[in-house]
Chains A and B, each alone.
Chain A
Amino acid sequence: MCGATQGGLSLDGIDVAKEAVVQGQVLRDGEPVASAYVRLLDRTGEFTAEVPTSATGHFRFFAGNGEWTLRTLAPKADPVDRKVHAQVGEVAEVSISV
């Protein structure tokens, strides 16, 4: 069993063994936020990538080994920073509340 968390994004078609996946969902009061933006910052705080959340509030990055920060921007909310550790061959699942 791959250990995907309930409601997590499908990993079909992705060679997880070669990627350091960081993915998750943005929630407000337990409900998915479809209009949020999640930024991936590297270990020095430098911007690396950004994605808008999907209709179900989901996002995904293909990072590298190490420590990363997820910065989430959403309408009518302060930015939220979350640290995450990524590792090639693993999927880091992160749930973010704004």
Chain B
Amino acid sequence: MTRETSLVTTQWVEEHAHDDNVVLIEVDEDTTAYDKGHIAGAIKLDWTTDLQDQVRRDFVNKRQFEELLSERGVANDDTVVLYGGNNNWFAAYAYWYFTLYGHADVKLMDGGRKKWELDSRPLTDEVPSREKTSYTATEQDRSIRAFRDDTVAAIGTQNLIDVRSPDEYAGRLLAPAHLPQEQAQRAGHVPTSLNVPWSKNCNDDGTFKSDEDLKALYAEVGIDDSKDTIALCRIGERSSLTWFVLKELLGHQNVKNYDGSWTEYGSLVGVPIALGDEPGTAEDA
């Protein structure tokens, strides 16, 4: 994957949103954002109800994903273009899902909903109707998904990239600052994880920085290209964005997203935690 195959501009979307094989999908943290206005022709996926199992903590499984996309009228050979608020956090999360379940052609709209709005492009409240399809997903591609044991095993041996804000990484905040802070679990970070806030990947308008700038960013923090990488955040959506940058834009081979992230890791009994701004060492672990 490259920037050319995995990203489209807001201008491209305005020109191609109504092409026959293009499905525009909005995915937002604020699941009501779509209802207040969206890009003409776009359908909505709700990350809390559509993409999560409603009983246990896990994604929708292969069958549930197939049922969801069939019901929403997405076909296997469609070009899926995802966009959303929060600089595409949840759109990147959905991109990772589509990749996990083997969708062939999926793209992000660079800059997401914010860039579209700052461009003063139009929004509508008209909800399109799409014919049902018969969608077939592949088995989950586990090569892009990390679990808690992978993360513990990666301490001191792999690249661990914690993409939360510096205050969350250090343990001074427990959640992004637009959310209430009360949480049950411990604060801090996985020892030896490097803090590269997701926001360093993006310009203020939400678009991704150039490949050169992104390469320099990860070189500067000392990412080891010869090692596998696990990205994590609080619930796995911001780290999807960093996964997208490392895997799809920069072409790193073995990059996994740890979707359990800090809300799982910080609640585990007995695992090592580092506090403060420094990564900490494997010896402390």
Do these two chains really belong together in a complex?
Answer: yes
Known: A42-B166, A44-B166, A46-B199. A76 touches B120 (CB 8 A): yes
Contact B114 A48 (CB under 8 A): no
Q: How far is the CB of B90 from chain A (nearest CB, A)?
A: 13
**Cβ–Cβ < 8 Å partners of B119 in chain A:** 75
Contact B177 A62 (CB under 8 A): yes
Q: How far is the CB of B209 from chain A (nearest CB, A)?
A: 13
Q: How far is the CB of B69 from chain A (nearest CB, A)?
A: 28
Contact A42 B167 (CB under 8 A): yes
CB nearest to B202 among chain A residues: A47
Contact B177 A63 (CB under 8 A): yes
Contact A35 B178 (CB under 8 A): no
Q: How far is the CA of A73 from the CA of B119 in the complex (A)?
A: 11
Pick out which of these stretches binds chain B: A1-9, A24-32, A49-57. Answer: A49-57
Q: How far is the CB of B177 from chain A (nearest CB, A)?
A: 4
Q: How far is the CA of A15 from the CA of B33 in the complex (A)?
A: 25
Q: How far is the CB of B116 from chain A (nearest CB, A)?
A: 10
CB nearest to A79 among chain B residues: B204
Contact B117 A62 (CB under 8 A): no
CB nearest to A59 among chain B residues: B178
Contact A46 B197 (CB under 8 A): yes
Contact A49 B165 (CB under 8 A): yes
**Cβ–Cβ < 8 Å partners of B167 in chain A:** 42, 48, 64
Given A35-B117, A47-B199, A76-B120, 11 new contacts (CB under 8 A): A18-B182, A37-B118, A46-B165, A47-B200, A48-B177, A50-B87, A50-B178, A52-B30, A52-B114, A64-B167, A71-B204
A residues touching B (Cβ–Cβ < 8 Å)?
14-15, 18-19, 35, 37, 39-40, 42, 44, 46-52, 55, 60-64, 71, 73-76, 79
B residues touching A (Cβ–Cβ < 8 Å)?
30, 33, 36, 85-87, 114, 117-120, 165-167, 172-173, 175-182, 197, 199-200, 204-205
